[in-house]
Amino acid sequence: MKKKSTLSKVISYIGRYKYLLPVSIILAIITVGLTLYVPILIGDAITVIEGMIFGGGEANSDSIARIVSLLGMATVLILATSLAQWLMSMINNRIAYHVSHDVRRDAFGKIERLPLSYLDTTRHGDILSRTVNDTEQLSEGLLLGFTQLFTGLLTIIGTMVLLFVLSWQVALVVVILTPLSLFAARFISGRTFNLFKAQSEAKGAQTAIIDEMIGNSKLVKAFSYEGRANARFDEANERLAGISLKAIFFSSLVNPVTRFVNSVVYAAVALVGALLAVTGSAGTAITVGTLSVLLAYANQYTKPFNEISGVITEFQNSLASAGRVFDLIEAEEETGDGAATDVLGEAMGEVSIDNVSFSYVPERPLIQGLSLEVRDGQRIAIVGPTGCGKTTLINLLMRFYDVKGGEIRVDGKPVLTLTRHDLRRNIGMVLQDTWLKSGTVRENIAMGRPDATDEEIIKAAKASHAHSFIKRLPDGYDTYIGEDGGSLSQGQKQLLSIARVMLTLPPMLILDEATSSIDTRTEMKIQSAFSEMMQGRTSFIVAHRLSTVREADVILVMRDGNIVEQGSHTELLERRGFYYELYNSQFAH
């Protein structure tokens, strides 16, 4: 059922090129028709020669002209067949690679629509393997299938019809022996599908390990993890090798088995045909020319079985890979914006959190019954021990995750009635974990405002104190930086992330440990810039260093998913509660 479902999905992608498909089918019919007609012409030529030698005829000019005419026509048809086959291959290539292009585009587009819960719980290397490797395998299987499967089936059907026309006795022998080849191919291929599926999964696991080790190479070296990393890779590699050997072993049996059966078919046709040519009665006797045609058809009839057996091996691998890609494409997307009925416009910044509950895993509650009212322009600091729900609250405000209970409103409008784009364009975010794309420094700063002028970009860089180090780069703002910032330090990458937000200046800000990788002197300057930027803007500041939140209007103290205290820095110290303990633990001598 899984294979049938996957195959129907592949066919639906092929159906998008319905204008090319009929052309390919017509060319396939022409190719097969001409290929089957050529042996008849050669057989007729042999019959003429037979008549000249054994029938008492003479090598007169008419007979020779007849032979030359038949062979000339056969030559022309062979050339026409080659041309039709070349055109068909070109069209099939176009269909196959366009289908893989469409599948890869849909897979990448799906990644952009997947909820963070999926991306957080699925190895990125496995997603990468599905999008690249499995899609490539799909295109290779389609290419072989288009080129050989359809023409092979046409050849088998056409040959069988002509065999019955020429000699029903020979055709009957072929019909009796054919199921042996089909049974052998089906028996073996049925066992290869699961092996190829397991092979694709093993490739995904191996890619995930490689991606993980490369992405965290500094930590691997810092903790001398190289040996254990090699052991993990060797284990995955051995598993992949074992599964691949089994898959290749079973799939490689198909071709020799079908070749053996096909050789038996060819020998049987030769034997029965020869007997009919020598001893046949008036109604069943055949000429030597007809025998040559029967042998040619026997060879053409069995050849597609050999080709199809090879296609089946590749096709099983292709279907297994396609199944993994379609599992990704059909994964549940984040809740759509279909329920969006409100337009936020330029937000004022009032945020209301009403009895909100949330958990990543249903059996482990995290936030329960959380309520909060934030006026526009307020600076809200969120502090608390690790795992208390600070970042989770930010995820809910940004709608990276949706609440399980309760409601969050911005300017009185429930966030579930707003499009994510409408909500997020009103919020600027600087995270502790920075992310920069491959491109120039200028492109990275202008990510949120691609139309920003050079003057605006430089102004934002100066405000974030990034301008000085940017000018020292080889090409200044046009310096190309590689994946995730290339050779820039963590502090420099964070300065660029801050400049990116300072360029957009949205009405609300979220700063999640935004200065954690910056030296103290630069941090003091940036805090001053932040203070200026936050004037009149609702700001949420997540911080572990409590010295950075003293100036906040309201400090929320979270513990086990709940707000246990809230107030100004001075008020919370005077209460001598949990905040007092946290604060003194950081400044105790």
Name the CATH topology of 351-587.
Rossmann fold (3.40.50)
Q: Same CATH fold, 351-587 and 93-329? A: no
The pLDDT of residue 394 is above 70 = yes
369 pLDDT band, cuts 50/70/90, is confident
Q: What is the pLDDT of residue 2?
A: 60
CA dihedral sign of residues 152, 153, 159, 162: negative
- Residue-wise pLDDT for 203-233, tens only, equals 878 887 887 777 677 667 766 777 888 888 8
Question: How far, in Å, CA of 574 to CA of 569, rounded?
Answer: 9
Domain 93-329: give its CATH architecture: Up-down Bundle (1.20)
515: CB partners within 8 A, 6+ apart: 494, 523, 526, 527, 548
Helix, strand or coil, per DSSP, at residue 406: strand
- pLDDT in the model for residue 11: 78
pLDDT at 589: 45
Query: Phi, psi (5° rounding) for residue 115?
Result: -70, 155
Phi and psi of 558, rounded to 5°? -105, 145
Closest CA to 162 of 296, 306, 28, 305: 296
59 pLDDT more than 60: no
For residue 372, report the phi and psi dihedrals to the nearest 5 degrees: -165, 140
- Look at residues 241, 207, 244, 238 and name the one whose alpha carbon lies nearest to residue 133: 207
- Asked whether residue 237 carries a pLDDT value surpassing 50, the answer given is yes
- pLDDT attached to residue 511: 83
The 8 Å CB, 24+ separation contacts for 5-11 are 6/319, 6/322, 6/323, 6/326, 7/319, 9/322, 9/326, 10/99, 10/138, 10/142, 10/319, 10/322
Global pTM value: 0.61
Query: Cβ distance 565 to 552 under 8 Å?
Result: no
Domain boundaries, the chain: 93-329, 351-587
